[in-house]
Structure formats: structure tokens, C-alpha cells
Amino acid sequence: MLHIEAGVRFFNPMGGRLCLSALCGVIQRGLTMSCEHLHTFSRIWKHPEKNQDELAAFRNRKLRSVLKNAYDNVRYYRDLFDTAGIKPEDIRTVNDLGLIPMTSSQDYRIRPLQEALSRKARPHRMVKRATSGSTGRPFIIRRSPLEDHLLNMFRIRAFRQFGVRVSDKMAQIRLVSASHHRENILGNIRQKVGIYRDYPLDCLQSISTIIRELRDLKPNVIKGYPAVISHIAPFISAEGKKDIRPRFLITGGESLVPFRRQLIERGFGKRVYDIYGSHEFNMLAWECPVTGEYHICDDNVIVEILRNGHPAEMGERGEVVVTGLHSYLMPFIRYRLGDVVTKGHDVCQCGQPFSTLKAIQGRMHDYFRMPDGSPMHPDEIVVPIMENESDWFDRYQLVQESENLIVLKVKPFSTPQEEQLQHVRNLAEERLPAGVEFRIDLVRALSSKGSGKFRFCKSKIHSDCENIDWNHL
């Protein structure tokens, strides 16, 4: 732990002390640390041992602070509150949240960026997180490097509960692209001094390449998308690759459904732990090593599970609506994430004070099977398009109609120019093998399935995800 002269303590992953002058140096480099962030840093590691009343007091304090900041400094939320006839002081506890109208990424995207950001924000110094969105709506999230570092501490806390050690090498099988570049200076410092080291492996590479890089790295822990790792797992098992021996694996970014968990655990012969997160909030929930339910990260977010607009009961499925407790420069308050989850216990049976989820129906991908039988991850097509031409997209869906035809359905904000359409075609065709046609269909609407979950990348010729019975997970 780190001691500061004022008596405030916050997390130091090395377990040592950082002098006040070093902290001042960080501040002088433009990383502003508010009193509320210091207060949060000092409590992250204590909360698993607290009771629910203490955790509730912390949440209510953070909620009042983030609401006041949003009203005072963010034009979008001042307008939202004024239109609803409410003031921040009307919301004293989590139970009062229902007074605030819900929002979505669409509400942010139709307004100028400066109206969604705090007037104190310096956009050129902010960390950007680009998401294709579980709703099929592309969106860019912004926050300060310090906020980004703070939110990542909740993730590291979950990793430590899984058994991750400070000195572990962690292979992270993820997208390695311009919009997924880690711009966090504090995270880079942590990486350089060997604390919770991440080694990114591009998930869009061939399976043989990923396996070769894993053999060279010899990671202690493997993290990544469950769809990708489950495709790798049978090769690990079949070829008996004893030099790839992680202690366990961590999945995230997509829903870990039972058949994929089984493939991974059978192939690697190790346990899998799952994380539920989003770019807007980082950590939402993590799998309890004892019960198998998911601890909601109650000290990072307020998660409402709504069924027909009302709070779901235990065992019921509902829509996820989230309020971030630590995002000041780009707040997210009663934000509709687009996911469907099953509500668990109000307090985890393991003894920690966190509420739980039983199951998560979040983002899911099908691999696309090419004519030669090789698999292609749809993000290989989606990511370049989102990075270059998504400004005119309202909503989209990428569908493999046959081995020789992939269709991008787009509901646009406005009718695109032919040059824009051709640019999208070129970006896709550069990545598709010869003989596979790519087509763009402009549509009036894209709707969810009856389950309420929108799958924005799917295959009609081979889908692992199509017939999952979410009611029995």
C-alpha cells in the first residue's frame, strides 16, 4: 500500500511505498487525481471484506458525486435533468435512480461530442476506447488516463481473486488494432516494471500462429475471447503441447457459453474464469471462484436489471442498465448497455458483499467458414470498417449468407455517398479470399431476436450460438 502525508492510502501493485514527490510528478504530467479518486483507490482492496451496509454507503457517496459533476459540467446531463424536472440533490441513494431517464449510445452519438464531455475535459489528452457495441452501434468512449487506470484496478482485483500473481506473464489474445491500442501511461509503466504483464497476441492471426506465439511466450495465464480460445483448445489437446501450460485461463469480451467453457477446459486441462465487462465501464462482473455466479462490481458500477421496466427478481432475465461511479469526464448514467442477464443473489453465497448474476447473454460471435474450410473471425472485416467509415452508421449487422457471400446490413444516419460505400467494399474485399462476394444492403431497421439480444455478426451456414437455451444456463 502507498502512504501519502495527508493520510490517504491507495494501491501500489508492487507492495512498496511511493513518495509524495513521485506523486506530484505524476500530477505535473497532467494526470489530475481528484479527492474522490484517491478515496476510491484507498478502498478497492478492502471492499471484498466489508459488509453490504459499508459498501452501500460507498456507492451512495460516489453516486452523489458523479451526478453533481455531470449536472455541473456536462451539457447533455444538465439538459436531461432539467427536462425531467430533477436536480442532483434529489438523488440521495441508489434507490432514487429511477427518477433519472435512461440513456444509450444513440443519445450520445446524435449530439456534438463536446456536449457529452465535461467542460473540464481535454479531448486530445484522453484515452479512447472504440467499441463495435453489443447493440451493433459503433461508439467511441473517452476518459482520462487516471480514470482508465482506476477502472483497470477493479479488473486486477478480480484477477487476483482468480489467482493471478504480480509477476505473472499473461498472454492476452485480443484485437491488436489502432482503436484497441492501450494509451494509458500508468499501465505502460506497470508493464515496463514487470507488474501484471500483458503480452498481446492478435486474435485475427491464424490458429497455428497464435499457438506458436503461445509456445514461445510460455505464459502463466492466458486471457482472451472465448470464441478464439475455444477454437485453439482442440489443437492444444490433440497435439499434446505440454509447453503451453497456463495455471488457468480468463475469458472476456464475449459470452462464455457452456459448450465453449467445456472445449477450453478439456483442451487445456485447466479451469476457466470469466469476466463480464464493457468499454464504457471496464469491469462489470467477474466469476466467483467458489459459487460460479458472477460478482457484480458494485463499487465500480450500479447495475440495474430491468424486466419490462421493473427490477427483475432472482432467477429472472432482464435488460442491463448501468451507472458508472468513477467516470467524470464522460459520464454514463442509467446507460442501456444492450445486454441481457439473469439476476442472481443479492449477496454472494461465498461471503463477499457483492450482488450476483447467474448468467450473461452478452456479445457473441460466429466464426465465418471460408470456401477452403478455414475459419475467419468477423472482426477481421468489422474492425477496419469501424475505424474508417463508421461515422455514418446508425446500426449494422454482418451476416454470412453462404460460403461465397457476406452481407453488411447498415441502417445509416443519412444516405452515404457512393465513395463511402466503395471504401467499405474495398476494406472488406482486401481481407476476403477470392471468390467470396461482399455486399452492402442499406436497410430501414435492424431488430433483435425474440430473446432481446442483437447479434451483430452471425453466420447462417455454421453457428455455434444460434440455438443456445438461455433460460437453462
Q: Give the least confident one: 1-5, 62-66, 450-454.
A: 1-5
Calpha distance 305→313 (Å, rounded): 9
Q: How confident is the model at residue 243 (pLDDT cuts 50, 70, 90)?
A: confident
Q: For the chain, how many structural domains are there in total?
A: 2
- What's the whole-number mean pLDDT along residues 176-182? 55
Q: How far apart are the first and last CA of the chain?
A: 40
DSSP 8-state secondary structure symbol assigned to residue 317: E
Query: pLDDT higher for 362 or 196?
Result: 196
DSSP 8-state secondary structure symbol assigned to residue 108: H
Smallest CA-to-CA distance from 66 within 30, 39, 106, 27 is with 39
The full DSSP string for 380-412 is: HHHHHHHHHHGGGEEEEEEEEEETTEEEEEEEE
Same-domain status, 313 and 461:
no
Same-domain status, 243 and 372:
no
Q: Give the least confident one: 135-139, 221-225, 394-398.
A: 135-139
At 135 the pLDDT is: 52
Convert the pLDDT of each residue in 53-82 to its tens digit: 999 999 999 999 999 999 999 999 999 999
Query: Which of 315, 332, 364 is the endpoint of a domain?
Result: 364
Most confident of 181-185, 248-252, 366-370: 248-252
Same-domain status, 61 and 132:
yes
pLDDT at position 118 over 60: yes
- What's the whole-number mean pLDDT along residues 312-335? 95
pTM: 0.80
Same-domain status, 73 and 148:
yes
With cell 448514467, the residue in question is: 333
- What's the whole-number mean pLDDT along residues 196-202? 89
Calpha distance 77→334 (Å, rounded): 11
Q: How confident is the model at residue 89 (pLDDT cuts 50, 70, 90)?
A: very high
Same-domain status, 453 and 324:
no
Same-domain status, 146 and 287:
yes
- What's the whole-number mean pLDDT along residues 426-430? 94
Convert the pLDDT of each residue in 139-170 to its tens digit: 789 998 889 999 999 999 999 999 999 999 99
Residues with Cβ < 8 Å from 377, sequence gap 6 or more? 203, 204, 227, 228, 365, 367, 368
Same-domain status, 277 and 171:
yes
Smallest CA-to-CA distance from 143 within 205, 96, 186, 201 is with 186
Q: How confident is the model at residue 254 (pLDDT cuts 50, 70, 90)?
A: confident
Domain with 396 in it: 368-472
- What's the whole-number mean pLDDT along residues 230-248? 83
Same-domain status, 222 and 141:
yes
Alpha carbon 160 to chain centroid, angstroms: 18
Query: Which of 313, 345, 364 is the endpoint of a domain?
Result: 364
Same-domain status, 147 and 242:
yes
Strand partners of residue 283: 277
Q: Residue 9 sits in a domain of what CATH number? A: 3.40.50.12780
At 194 the pLDDT is: 75
Give the per-residue SS3 of 78-105.
Answer: HHHHHHHCCCHHHCCCHHHHHHCCCECH
Residue type, position 113, single letter = L
Contact assessment for residue 145 and residue 400, using Cβ atoms and an 8 Å cutoff:
no
Query: Which of 345, 364, 383 is the endpoint of a domain?
Result: 364
Same-domain status, 266 and 391:
no
Same-domain status, 326 and 393:
no
Contact assessment for residue 330 and residue 69, using Cβ atoms and an 8 Å cutoff:
no
Residues with Cβ < 8 Å from 160, sequence gap 6 or more? none
The full DSSP string for 118-178 is: -TT--GGGSEEEEE--TTS--EEEEE-HHHHHHHHHHHHHHHHHHT--TT-EEEEEE--SG
Calpha distance 124→302 (Å, rounded): 29
Residue type, position 69, single letter = N
At 105 the pLDDT is: 85
- What's the whole-number mean pLDDT along residues 391-398? 85
pLDDT at position 223 over 60: yes
Residue 20 three-state SS: helix
Q: How confident is the model at residue 450 (pLDDT cuts 50, 70, 90)?
A: very low
Contact assessment for residue 411 and residue 446, using Cβ atoms and an 8 Å cutoff:
yes
At 156 the pLDDT is: 94
Calpha distance 226→249 (Å, rounded): 10
Contact assessment for residue 216 and residue 245, using Cβ atoms and an 8 Å cutoff:
no
Q: Residue 449 sits in a domain of what CATH number? A: 3.30.300.30
* Mean pLDDT for all residues in the chain: 84
Residues with Cβ < 8 Å from 212, sequence gap 6 or more? none
Convert the pLDDT of each residue in 342-365 to its tens digit: 999 999 999 999 999 999 876 666
- What's the whole-number mean pLDDT along residues 32-51? 88
Same-domain status, 89 and 217:
yes
Smallest CA-to-CA distance from 280 within 430, 391, 137, 165 is with 137
Residues with Cβ < 8 Å from 75, sequence gap 6 or more? 114, 115, 119
